[in-house]
Each structure stands twice: as C-alpha cells, then as structure tokens.
Amino acid sequence: MQLNQKETSLLKDLKEQEQICVEKYNKYSNDASDTQLKGLLSQISQKEQQHLDTVNQILGGTVPGMQAGGGQQMPQSFTASYTPGDNSPEKQNDSYLCTDLLATEKYVSSAYNTSVFEFRDTNIRSVLNHIQKEEQQHGEMIFNYMSQNGMYGG
C-alpha cells in the first residue's frame, strides 16, 4: 500500500491527536475525584491507545483488520456520584475534565470525518470510519456521565 502525501499528512495529524487523547485520558483519570469517572477515563484511554496503534500501523504500510463486534462494550449508564445542588470543588474539577474531554472528542471525530473522505483505499476508509464511530461513543459516554451528574445543560 502506497500512501500519497496528503494521506500521510492526514495520518500524521491523526497520530498527534491520538497521542494527545491518550495523554489526556491518562492524566485526567488520575486527576478525577469520582471513582466511576476514573474508571471510565481509564477504559477510554485504552481504546485511544488502540487507535494510536492502528494509525501507526497504517503509517507503516499495514491496514489492520477490524475486530468483530466492535470491541468491548463500555458502560452507558452511571449511578449519580454527585447530588443535585452539589457545588463542591470535586464536582467542579470533574465537570471541567469532562467538558474538556468532550470538546476534544468533538474535534477528533471531526478530524476523522475529514480523513475518511480523503483516502483512496476503501479498507483504510473503513478503519478510519470505525475509529470515528468509537470517538463518537466516547463523547456519548462522557455526555451521559455529565448528564447523570448534573454537569451538562440546565
């Protein structure tokens, strides 16, 4: 498989974004106050590492196969850790971490969306589309955590 200059450039950008995601999720998992949030961020960090590995494989000339069933399922529902009206420093910190990660996921998903349209190879497009879907799922999980803990919306 031969990548053209634009494809190589896009993959390098995706690699940089995935490295940032891995670092953020690891750091924020350590910085979070709530144990549920720590676990969620740690799980997502592992998926982001898989994304980084996949992008590196494509840059190296190999198109990895897709896992059947889309990999492990992550929790979509959480028990509220914070009570309504809780304005504690811990909740404020966890809310900040989630808000930043949600913005990061929006950006990364958008970068994958652009890349999907720029690749000639159908298999690479499929792999990038699969990663994009997982990035959207990460955003949904963070959104669900925030919603159930009174951190999102009014």
- The reply to whether 128 falls in a domain is yes
Return the CATH number at 131: 1.20.1260.10
Q: Tell me, what's the pLDDT at 78?
A: 79
Q: Tell me, what's the pLDDT at 152?
A: 82
The mean predicted confidence, pLDDT, of the chain is: 92
List b or e across 93-109, with b for residues whose CB sees 16 or more CB atoms inside 10 angstroms. Answer: bbbebbeebbebbeebb
Q: Which residues contact 19 (CB under 8 A, 6 or more apart)?
A: 52
- The reply to whether 81 falls in a domain is no
Q: To the nearest whole percent, how much of the chain has pLDDT over 90? A: 83
Main-chain phi, psi angles of 93, to 5 degrees: -65, -50
- Over residues 133-144, the pLDDT tens digits come to 999 999 999 999
What range does the domain containing 112 cover? 5-60+89-148
DSSP symbols for 85-128: T---HHHHHHHHHHHHHHHHHHHHHHHHHHHHHH-S-HHHHHHH
Q: Which two tokens stand for residue 55?
A: 């992008």
- The reply to whether 36 falls in a domain is yes
Structural domains counted in the chain: 1
- The reply to whether 105 falls in a domain is yes
The residue-averaged pLDDT of 26-51 equals: 97
Decide if pLDDT at 20 tops 50: yes
- Over residues 54-67, the pLDDT tens digits come to 999 999 999 988 65
pLDDT classification of 69: cutoffs 50, 70, 90: very low
- The reply to whether 153 falls in a domain is no
Decide if pLDDT at 75 tops 90: no
